[in-house]
Structure 1
């Protein structure tokens, strides 16, 4: 952890020293904050950043689905327009035929004047069938017109939704960048001694939380399923790759990008974000944990890691860090979910 803080702050600290050259008038120093207060501030900023990242990821997923829907509707609308052209052509052909064969005499008059009434009746049957065909053509034309209009309205609405999602995604991206800037500014304001003290304090807190978890008997360690084993092996192969918000690999990951990609590789696609993983996957008690299960953190479910056994998880922790193995209690645990749990039986 100390290496992380030092890496994040390094470049910013150099720039800060260049800017803070001696000047004739020096402002009064700000009140000194304790190490514990600084750690609290940093943890809060990281949490806000990850929450903003997961919100951005959720919108990105919706935008991707919406783009697919717009494309599908555009295809359906194009086919409906072609069908409408065919229906109009059929209606026009029948209208011309009716005009060309019109005699001005009704069917009953033609029957009375016919020399061969039976022939006239047979001819009337054919004429009746042609009339029914005309009716079907007109009905088909009407239905196709309605379908085309409905698809055109749906396509316009879907495109409007896509544009709204794209605008929301841009605002959320800017919010993530703003949160990251807050983290960087705070780190750049700290000395190397403060950074080291913050890292030690955080490590001590994690060690205590991990000790409480392991001695409470609440943590289990069951064998992995075949799919869980594949997911773990994929996640472990990503060790050392950098955290990047919104990333799903293969060169970088955010927290849920790592877990969703690992389970996709294992043959079990799961939701993209940590919130959706918590909401939609089967929850399991920590006592029943097995490798491949996902551990979700914070009350808002804004962070997720993958259990690998023996009280450890593999995770993409936060900006400035790399995919690594960590104690399960690195953050406040909300609960755990199992991506390959069998679907509940219908009653």
Structure 2
């Protein structure tokens, strides 16, 4: 493909950006009904204890949370690369305009030479017969030669730059398409895990579902009590920073709004959507996902945390909550639950990060 066609192809990428705003429509694979045991038509889940069902549901929602992080990360990358394509396309358009202007200047010089009879500058000087005009002509000829050389050099460099920008735009487009594939896979996984968990809950009788909710609360209380008895709060009495207070105020104002995977407000949130928007409200942008928050933000010891810090949970960093003081966090728990407060030690703590360190 020649350079002109490469540049044209890169600019047309901007037109394709509208496609990127279309939601991914990948559908989750259907969750098969539990296989009945031999000689019985009862579903396998009926043979499990309620505690086993609770643990299974919890595992499914945790897997959905990890897939949500993968989805959000792919979406964030796609948005960043889309912006880069727009920037590159503008640069390519500017480069093409510059090439056209340089060609016009080169053409003007060629026409001037033609008007002078097509004689080389040296021959024109020799034929002048006037020493003064000869010296002036020498200087003008040198300046003209340098100008011509400069135009040709600039033209060649601009053409090389255009080729580089075109390649960069094409690479970013390929990354966007790869990101869309990742988003589709992540969404399929999210849908599958959530539907499986919802199906397990739906199979329970009304009183069993009520007991399940109570068991969740009891398990969280037990974990929190164990965390507190370890002395974890002994030295945690630090005051929030000014930005931390703003972030806490935003996060706690969202209490009661539903968890929706991939949501960043204002009507619903997922776990990292809540924390990232809270710190954005405090004028301190942070990564969108809990895994990237864990990877990129400064880490601090648990005993040094203060309100506004983020507690990252589970070994895969698939959940995050904001510490609000007195051993508590505010977080968006999972599908089917609302933004709420909970004990900071009610889940497995991976570590703590500080957005404004």
Verify same fold: TM over 0.5. yes
Residue 72 of structure 2: SS of its match in structure 1? helix
Long gaps (5+) in structure 2:
1-38
Counterpart in 2 of 1:70?
85
**1:262 pairs with 2:278:** yes
Residues 212 and 109 (structure 1), Cα distance of their counterparts in 2 relative to 1, 3 Å cut: closer
Provide closer, same or farther for how the CA distance between residues 102 and 335 of structure 1 changes in structure 2, counting only shifts above 3 A.
same
3-state SS of paired residue (1:329)? coil
**1:77-96 matches, cutoff 5 A:** 77-96=92-111
CA RMSD between the two structures: 1.9
Q: How does the TM-score come out when normalised to structure 1?
A: 0.86
2:259–2:334 contact (8 Å) kept in structure 1:
yes
Give secondary structure in 2 for the equivalent of 1:161: helix
Give the CA deviation at 1:153: 1.8
* Contact persistence 1:46–1:318 (CA under 8 A): yes
1:263 deviates by 0.7
Aligned residue among 287, 291, 304 for 2:307: 291
Q: 1:300 aligns with which of 316, 328, 337?
A: 316
Matches within 5 A, 1:1-150: 28-31=41-44, 32-102=47-117, 104=119, 107=122, 111=126, 114-150=128-164
How do 1:98-247 residues align onto structure 2 when only pairs under 5 Å count?
98-102=113-117, 104=119, 107=122, 111=126, 114-219=128-233, 220-247=236-263
Please state how far the C-alpha of 1:124 moved relative to its aligned partner.
2.4
Runs of 4+ in structure 1 off by over 3 angstroms are 102-106
Pair 1:254–1:99, CA change in 2 (3 A): same
Supply the distance in 1 between the matched residues of 2:56 and 2:277 (Cα, whole angstroms).
31
Deviations 1:167-197 (A, max 9, x none): 3222322221122111111111122233233
* Number of aligned residues: 315
Q: How many Å separate the matches in 1 of 2:215 and 2:177?
A: 46
Native 8 Å contact 2:78 2:176 kept in 1? yes
Work out which of the two has the higher radius of gyration on C-alpha atoms and give 1 or 2.
1
Give the structure 1 partner of residue 10 of structure 2: none
Deviation for aligned residue 1:218: 1.7
- Going from structure 1 to structure 2, the CA distance change for 1:114 and 1:329 (only over 3 Å counts) comes to closer
CA shift digits 1:32-75 (9 cap, x unpaired): 11122111111110100111111111111111111110111011
- TM-score, normalised relative to structure 2: 0.83
